[in-house]
Amino acid sequence: MAEQRIAIVTGGNRGIGLEISRQLAGLGIKVILGSRDAARGVAAAGELAAAGLPVEARQLDVSSAKSISECMSWVRRDVGRLDILVNNAGIMIEEGDADPLEELEMIRETMQTNVYGPFLLSRLATPIMKSRRYGRIVNLSSGMGSLIEMGAGYIAYRLSKGGINIVTRVIAAETEGMGILVNSVDPGWVRTAMGGQGATRSVEKGAETAVWLATLPDNGPTGSFFRDRKPIAW
C-alpha cells in the first residue's frame, strides 16, 4: 500500500479551508487542520474525524512567526514528512472611509496574514518536501489580485493577493526540478463569511481547483495561476 500523504491546510476550521480539508481527507490524505483558535480547530477536525476522515487539528496562527515556527518544528520532528501545504487562511478587512494612516495599518495587517505567513510556511515546508522530492503548495489568491482584472478599492486585499502570486512565482522558480509544484488559485466568488451569502459558488465548487492543484501528478504545472482548473492571467 502506498504511504499516506500528509497535508497542512491553514484556516481549516471554516469556509473554503474546511471544505479543502474534507475533500483532501476524502482522498485518503492525512490532513493537519490548522486553526488560529485551538478550540475551533478541534471542533472542526472532530466533525470530519467523526465521519471517518483522517483529520487532526493543530493550532496555527499564520500572522505569528512564532506560531508558524512551532508548528513546522513539530511537523519536522514528530510527523517527519509534509507532502502538501495549502495556504488558505486569509482576511479581507472592510476599508470603508479609513484615513490614510488607518489604511496603511490595514495593509500591514492584511499583508502579515495573507502574504508573510504563507511565505514563511512555504520557506519552512520546502526543505521537508525536498527531502522526499515531492511537494505541492497551493496559495489561495483571488481575481482581485490579478493585474489584468485590477480595479478600485480594497487596496489592502488586492496588494496581498498580488503579493501571494509573487510568492508563488518565486518559490516555484526556486524549486523547479525538485518534485515540488507551487501554484496560485482563484476559487471564484464563494458563499463563506468572506464571500457573503450572495456569492455565486458553493464551498464545494470553491475548493475544487485547490484540491486538484494539491494532488497534481508529477508532470503537473508549477508557477501558474488557475481558476476552474484553467490557467488565468496574473
Tell the smallest beta-carbon distance from residue 228 to ligand NAP (Å). Answer: 13
Q: In whole angstroms, how far apart are CA 127 and each of 73, 98, 134, 150?
A: 12, 41, 10, 34
Output 43 or 170, the one with its CB closest to ligand NAP: 43
Tell the smallest beta-carbon distance from residue 130 to ligand NAP (Å). Answer: 25
How far apart are alpha carbons 188 and 125 in whole angstroms? 27
Here the cell at position 115 is: 502574504
Q: In whole angstroms, how far apart are CA 170 and each of 50, 164, 167, 182, 224?
A: 39, 10, 5, 9, 11
Here the cell at position 116 is: 508573510
Residue keyed to cell 493543530: 58
Helices (H), the chain: 15-26, 38-50, 65-74, 100-111, 117-132, 155-174, 203-214
Query: Helix (H, G, I), strand (E, B), or coil: what is residue 120?
Result: helix
Tell the smallest beta-carbon distance from residue 3 to ligand NAP (Å). Answer: 28
Tell the smallest beta-carbon distance from residue 160 to ligand NAP (Å). Answer: 8
Of residues 26 through 45, those in contact with ligand NAP by CB under 6 A are 36-37, 40
Output 30 or 36, the one with its CB closest to ligand NAP: 36
Here the cell at position 98 is: 479609513
Interaction mask 55-94, ligand NAP, x per CB under 6 A: -----xxxx------------------------xxxx---
Of residues 150 through 209, those in contact with ligand NAP by CB under 6 A are 186-187, 189-190, 192-195, 199
Catalytic residues: 157
Interface contacts to ligand NAP, rule CB under 6 A: 10-11, 13-17, 36-37, 40, 60-63, 88-91, 113, 140, 142, 186-187, 189-190, 192-195, 199
